[in-house]
Chain A
Amino acid sequence: MHAGTSIQRRQGFHRLRFGLCYNAKSMGARRVLFGIAAFALVALAFFAGYATYPLLHEGSSGLWAGVAPESATDNPDLGAYWQVWDLLERDFYGEQPAPEQQTYGAIAGMVQSFGDPYTYFVEPPSRELERDELAGKFGGIGADVEQTERGYVVHPLAGQPAAQAGVQDGDLLLMVDDHEITASMSSDEVIALVRGPIGSTVALVVRRGGESQPNATELTFTATRAEIQTPSIEWRLLDDSPQTADIGYMRQTIFSERSPQEMRQAIEELRNAGAHRFVWDLRGNPGGLVASAVEQADMWLDSGTIVVEEKAGGLRKTLEATPGVLVGHAPLVLVVDGGTASASEIVAGALRDHSRAQLVGQKTYGKGSVQLIHELSDQSSLHVTNAQWFTPNGQQISGKGLLPDVMVPVGVDALATAVETLPAVQEAKTR
């Protein structure tokens, strides 16, 4: 937390979190993830559902082959903790939190003692949304919810399950299945209740009309959850002017599971529309899945190192580009800024070190550590900083960030500069 003007209590789940993460999976396989962020986009949305991949708790076995887990004798014995627990149980005057809430508090406090902002604990409702965010899709009812003083107000999207079931804009949400919805609940909790497996049903009780109005009625609707997608990449041809009509522009907000496939589709459509040059906008992209970042970087590289990871003890793993590129040598510029972090920085570092792309914009965030996301047995999750990474040239970017090749002052349109920076395309055209 900066010693700035804003003082806020830290929440259990941090919406804007930059992190490189691995997901701890069953079967010993680990999914590589980047940190969670861009959550603000869904914060008020009911787009809810299930992640496509089950994330199961794996226990405490070692991570990479050859690395033994640390001895458990280092673990705290918690003697004082039990005494405190007993004292509270016996003497405390006031409302005792639910047992699981006490446990969550204890975990969060213990995790905080590690002194690493990227090592943190996420309680179950937020965890569900985190998982959906990284999957890029979920089972939802297709409605936004808005937190108001009276409670949560629903804004269904036309043609989506909520609207089809009969929910109308402005309905006040009272119950979701058996759960009462109150104004004091967090939006994460409400959203998590609404989301569920694709094809399952959810009962919604709403009040229609003002509270004071005598004709206000309570209505019950049953909606069938459908797959709601949250695209991570938008793309278009910059054809506002003839000079730039051969530039394909892609803006990516997170590295989700679907991102590589989205990029393949973007490149194909843009090339079919006449794109010979590309701008890949990573401004404000806080990261996401490591695997997606590596796969996407690989689309532009024929060979060489994409990223090197180092774990405690110095064990290193090098992720290499595979032969073949999607777009030949089409010129590429990456647009970056101070919000470009983590997985985005892996991409930017790799493409820059291989002189595959120029970076335009501002210095990037500088997040060079990797987290594992462990899903615990009760659906909460634990993010643990597990490694740091280096660019192909061996640069560690934590706290430093990547300096762009072309600096653009804050407040100046970096996209325009990016377009100017892109080399001309005669070469591409003559081939």
Chain B
Amino acid sequence: MIDQPVASSPSGVAPGRRSSSKPILITCLSIFAAALLLSVGFGIGFGAGRLTAPPTAARGSSSSANDQLYPKFDVFWEAMNLLYSDFYGELPQSDAATYGAIRGVLGELKDPNTSFMTPQEAEFFRSHLEGSFEGIGARVEWDVKLDTVRIVEPFENQPAWKAGVKRDDLVIAVDGESVVGTDLTSAIEKIRGTKGSTVKLTIVREGATEPIEIDVVRDRIEIPTIATKTVGGNLAYVQLNSFNENAGELVRQAVADALEQNPKGLIFDLRGNPGGLLTQAVEVSNVFLQDADVLIERFADGKEQIYKTEKPAVAKDIPLVVLVNEGSASASEIVAGAVQDAGRGRLVGAKTYGKGSVQLPQTLNDGSIMRVTIARWFTPKDRTIDGTGLDPDEVIEVTDEQRKAGEDPQLNKAIELLGGQVEPPPVQ
């Protein structure tokens, strides 16, 4: 276990959080959830026991007692009483109304990364952390503006990708049922299903005048956390797909093993990696960097925390290229930013996702999970990437044709920069 307890690091955290030794997660729920639910094996530090306890006990609903604490709330009680006395039709479950109110408040924050899961959703989430997953093999997120599901990345050679689903496609209906205005979890539940079954996605795509219907045959989705191989003759290649709780150790071991072959250079592939635990971003950076700053975290109250590498690096000198693209988010951007700022290696690929905020998940008394954006992070040179992304040193885009033909010009560029031999495209 190498999770870094928060208590040992941040200096500027509110008391309730500092006293607890829990990990900080850094990723978007949306991306994260989808990665977990639509694909296999993104083992994530999301177990219930590892989340902090809620800060306060539940309050009663007497409005007078809350007036000072919660100003301007009277009108809520008016509305609620009217609804419950006047409504013609089936009343919602009492907790459904509470969860509705919570989602309503979160909607006012204009922060898609601060999110809420009911106990049922949290359970669904947890139960899918382990075991195998059957789905369409795409990472999705909730597009807050358009209020529907957006495809962040169809995984190569997986069902969605094979059926022609593209990045940035908006899914507006699943099997003919609209998902617009619902939420990510319920939409994902509809999309997922058993291997061999077919799901019909109704998709709105930029440039298309009419919605497109695409049938995707679900399959078992296997995406290992880490993959290694030798490329370009004598170059080591390590690919990391998520920053789960073992990521630091896995990368450290994989790189150490690879270095035993005395490669000329090292390619670290973070393309499509949506992030994960902040502590693991530091650990992974520490594989390549020594005695270096990794990131600066700044909290709402103005306090800041600088994260540094604490161990010896295993690959501190070997020529390094980090591959990134639009799907590299959050923890991936921390690593890439730290490498870039330290001048340790070159970034090759496409501009990254641009998620520079940190969320803390907490379990509420009733088992709901609330994730609050608590901080922003900046690269060691104090750059922000939020909303803008990191610019690679070498920008290489992949065209649809190249993708279809199985070509990888980004990898080829990395091989070229490290003096390796570019291989011919694989035969499909």
Asked whether B102 lies within 8 Å of A111 as measured between CB atoms, the reply is no
B74 contacts partner chain A, Cβ-Cβ < 8 Å = yes
Residues of A within 8 A of B60 (CB): 77
B406 contacts partner chain A, Cβ-Cβ < 8 Å = no
Residues of A within 8 A of B86 (CB): 63, 372, 374, 384, 386
Residues of B within 8 A of A76 (CB): 61, 80, 94-98, 101
B85 contacts partner chain A, Cβ-Cβ < 8 Å = yes
Interface residues on A, range: 35 or more
Asked whether A87 lies within 8 Å of B178 as measured between CB atoms, the reply is no
User: A82 and B82 in contact (CB under 8 A), knowing A1-B178, A93-B374, A378-B75?
Assistant: no
Asked whether A94 lies within 8 Å of B17 as measured between CB atoms, the reply is no
Asked whether A87 lies within 8 Å of B202 as measured between CB atoms, the reply is no
Residues of A within 8 A of B366 (CB): 79-80
Residues of B within 8 A of A60 (CB): 78, 81-82, 84-85
Asked whether B107 lies within 8 Å of A105 as measured between CB atoms, the reply is yes
Asked whether A376 lies within 8 Å of B78 as measured between CB atoms, the reply is yes
Within 79-131 of B, Cβ neighbours of A (below 8 Å) are at 79-89, 91-92, 94-111, 114, 116
Residue in B80, B87, B148, B180 whose beta carbon sits within 8 Å of that of A386 in the complex: B87
Residues of A within 8 A of B104 (CB): 104-110, 112
Asked whether A83 lies within 8 Å of B170 as measured between CB atoms, the reply is no
B282 contacts partner chain A, Cβ-Cβ < 8 Å = no
Residue in A57, A62, A109 whose beta carbon sits within 8 Å of that of B101 in the complex: A109
Residues of A within 8 A of B360 (CB): 91
Asked whether A7 lies within 8 Å of B76 as measured between CB atoms, the reply is no
Residues of B within 8 A of A372 (CB): 82, 86
Binary per-residue interface labels of chain B (8-49) against chain A in the complex, 1 for a CB within 8 Å, 0 otherwise: 000000101100000000000000000000000000000000
Within 194-226 of B, Cβ neighbours of A (below 8 Å) are at 202, 204, 209-211
CA A101 to CA B110, docked complex, whole Å: 12
CA A57 to CA B202, docked complex, whole Å: 44
A65 contacts partner chain B, Cβ-Cβ < 8 Å = no
B365 contacts partner chain A, Cβ-Cβ < 8 Å = yes
Chain B facing A: main interface SS: mixed
Residues of B within 8 A of A382 (CB): 78-79, 82-83
CA A95 to CA B376, docked complex, whole Å: 13
Residue in B87, B146, B173 whose beta carbon sits within 8 Å of that of A119 in the complex: B87
CA A70 to CA B82, docked complex, whole Å: 10
A292 contacts partner chain B, Cβ-Cβ < 8 Å = no
Asked whether B172 lies within 8 Å of A83 as measured between CB atoms, the reply is no
Shortest distance between the CB of B311 and any CB in chain A (Å)? 29
Asked whether A82 lies within 8 Å of B59 as measured between CB atoms, the reply is yes
Asked whether A104 lies within 8 Å of B91 as measured between CB atoms, the reply is no
B343 contacts partner chain A, Cβ-Cβ < 8 Å = no
CA A2 to CA B372, docked complex, whole Å: 32
Among A78, A369, A380: residue with most chain B CB under 10 A: A78
Among B92, B110, B202, B299: residue with most chain A CB under 10 A: B92
Asked whether A87 lies within 8 Å of B372 as measured between CB atoms, the reply is yes
Shortest distance between the CB of A414 and any CB in chain B (Å)? 29
User: A9 and B116 in contact (CB under 8 A), knowing A77-B94, A87-B372, A113-B92?
Assistant: no
Shortest distance between the CB of A119 and any CB in chain B (Å)? 7
A388 contacts partner chain B, Cβ-Cβ < 8 Å = yes
Asked whether B373 lies within 8 Å of A92 as measured between CB atoms, the reply is yes
Shortest distance between the CB of B178 and any CB in chain A (Å)? 4
- For B111, the closest partner residue in chain A by CB is A94
A115 contacts partner chain B, Cβ-Cβ < 8 Å = yes
CA A101 to CA B364, docked complex, whole Å: 23
Residue in A7, A63, A370 whose beta carbon sits within 8 Å of that of B148 in the complex: A7
CA A59 to CA B148, docked complex, whole Å: 37
CA A80 to CA B117, docked complex, whole Å: 11
15 contacts between A and B (CB under 8 A): A1-B180, A2-B178, A7-B180, A60-B85, A76-B96, A77-B94, A82-B59, A86-B56, A88-B114, A101-B108, A106-B104, A116-B89, A374-B86, A382-B82, A384-B83
Interface positions of B (Cβ within 8 A of A)? 14, 16-17, 54-56, 58-61, 66, 70-76, 78-89, 91-92, 94-111, 114, 116, 145-148, 170, 172-173, 176-178, 180-181, 202, 204, 209-211, 298-300, 357-358, 360, 362, 364-366, 368, 370, 372-376
Interface positions of A (Cβ within 8 A of B)? 1-5, 7-10, 24, 57, 59-63, 69-70, 72, 74-88, 90-97, 99-116, 119, 121, 311-312, 369-370, 372, 374, 376-378, 380, 382, 384-388
Pairs of residues from A and B, 3 with the lowest C-beta to C-beta distance, nearest first = A109-B104, A79-B58, A113-B100
